[in-house]
Amino acid sequence: MAELLDLLSWLCLLAGGAFALIGGIGLIRFPDFYTRLHAGGITDTLTALLIVVGLALQSGLSLLTIKLALILLFLLFTTPTATHALARAALADGLRPEGAGAEQNGGGSSNT
């Protein structure tokens, strides 16, 4: 049973590291601020989830697991909120997404 928990823990830790690496590559490769923000926000949340779950599996059922769960809860609330706040601030500052012309601001497309 201990080997299974170790295996699951290491899979979560490695997957979390892989998603962090993928998110970093997305930050470099995507063309504008909003797509970079999306890549960073999504992978940051998933990375934190996987790494904290992997660490909780390593620590077993203890006070440390409760602390890790509280850290995870904090991260799951603050990371998307910070991403949303950054996007709203950029939009309020006048930074438009690439490809967002007048045809996208009308609320729909007219095919007539």
Please give the pLDDT value at position 72.
94
More confident residue, 99 or 86: 86
Q: pLDDT per residue over 8-61, tens digit each?
A: 999 999 999 999 999 999 899 998 999 999 989 999 999 999 999 999 999 988
Q: pLDDT per residue over 100-109, tens digit each?
A: 665 555 555 5
Please give the pLDDT value at position 98.
81
Cβ atoms 86, 39 nearer than 8 A: no
Q: Is the pTM of this model over 0.85?
A: no
- Give the H or E element holding residue 94: none
Please give the pLDDT value at position 107.
52
Task: Describe the crossing of helices 33-59 and 2-29 by its angle, rounded to 10 degrees.
Answer: 170
